[in-house]
Structure 1
Amino acid sequence: MPELQRLRPDHAPALLAFEEENRAFFAASVPDRGDDYFTHFAARHASLLAEQATGACHFHVLVTEDGEVLGRFNLMDVADGAAELGFRLAEKATGRGLATLTIRELFTLCTTAYALTTLRAGATVTNTASRSVLTRTGFVLTGEELVLGGERGVGYVRELAAGPSGHA
């Protein structure tokens, strides 16, 4: 079973491979990161780690036993017990419930390690897979209309239980 790990410097090569291998797949449902992202990946990775060290964000990767990255699960803009959830899963890992299971595992980290009580998320209206995962994990539509990378999106929110399971 893949393991959720907090982002570390040594994840960089596998994370870059994940992003490159899945670029076209991701671009079909979320705005593309652009060539600059890949050209300056090392600096971007270092910047994320520095931001994580401040506590403003918590970045995670879903990793196989042999170190391959299957997904990213990020908590961004942490403030006042709330954070923004962002996630993406490798094409070859979809359809097996991994995103749902990993987000539920992340709920536990949110309440036990990060003292979070609320998660927000957004998804483009055309990203039915992410919207389904959010709904399955207890997120509800906020009614907020978002613009995500120039595309129409919708907002979600999830209140987290104070207990160890993170389930409401």
Structure 2
Amino acid sequence: MADLQLLRLDHAPALLAFEQENRAYFSASIPDRGDDYFTHFDARHSDLLAEQAAGLHFFHVLVGSGGEVLGRVNLIDVEGGSAELGYRIAEKAARQGLATTAVRQICALAAAKYGLTTLRASTTLDNAGSRAVLDRTGFEPTGEVLLGGRAGLSYARNLSEVREGAAP
């Protein structure tokens, strides 16, 4: 079982290992972060923590029992009661329900702790796993998008029912 934790400075080594170990796996379904991300990881991590402290974003990691990062679940561009949801799960932890559980948890956190009313998300059309997670967790398709030059769908989720305890 993984524990959903708000991103901290001490997560950096495990988070970098997670990103490096899964780079090829992730880039098969989402745009690659690029070499610069890895070269300047420590500075980027510090910047993300500063943005989180300012309330602009809420970054979370899924931490396994051995302290390893098994996934990320982020709320970015927090403004006006809404945010963009992004998530990625390690290849070794994929297809075990971890993403669905984590998205349900982040929906509850978004409503109860962060006071959000709507979450948005998007994924490429060829990422059937991510589309299934969004469908299972109450997100509705809202339109077509391009993600890194690839066809995709945008989604939205009203969090009012989460506040009432009826999250899917």
TM range (shorter): over 0.9
| TM-score (norm: length of structure 2) | 0.95
1:116 offset after TM fit, Å? 0.6
Partner of 1:128: 128
How far off is 1:9 after superposition?
Answer: 0.2
2:15 corresponds in structure 1 to 15
- In 1: Cα distance, 2:7 partner to 2:29 partner: 24
Tell me, in whole angstroms, the C-alpha distance in 1 between the residues paired with 2:115 and 2:127.
29
Letter in 2 for 1:51: E
Give the CA deviation at 1:164: 5.8
In 2, Cα distance between equivalents of 1:167 and 1:21:
33
Paired position in structure 2 for 1:42: 42
Unmatched 5+ stretches in structure 2 = none
Per-residue CA distance 1:42-71 (angstroms, 9 max, x = gap)? 011011101101101000000012210000
> How many residues are aligned here?
167
- Are the equivalent residues in 2 in contact too, given 1:112–1:164 (CA < 8 A)? no
* 2:95 counterpart residue number: 95
Amino acid at match of 1:40: H
The superposition leaves residues 60-85 of structure 1 with CA deviations (integer Å, 9 ceiling, x where unpaired) of 00001221000000000111111000
What's the TM-score, normalizing by structure 1? 0.95
For the pair 1:149 / 2:148, whether they are aligned, the reply is yes
Per-residue deviation, residues 107-139 of structure 1 (Å, max 9, x unmatched):
111111100110000001111111111111110
Give, in whole Å, the separation in 1 of the partners of 2:153 and 2:25: 21
User: Where does structure 1 lack aligned partners over 5 or more consecutive residues?
Assistant: none
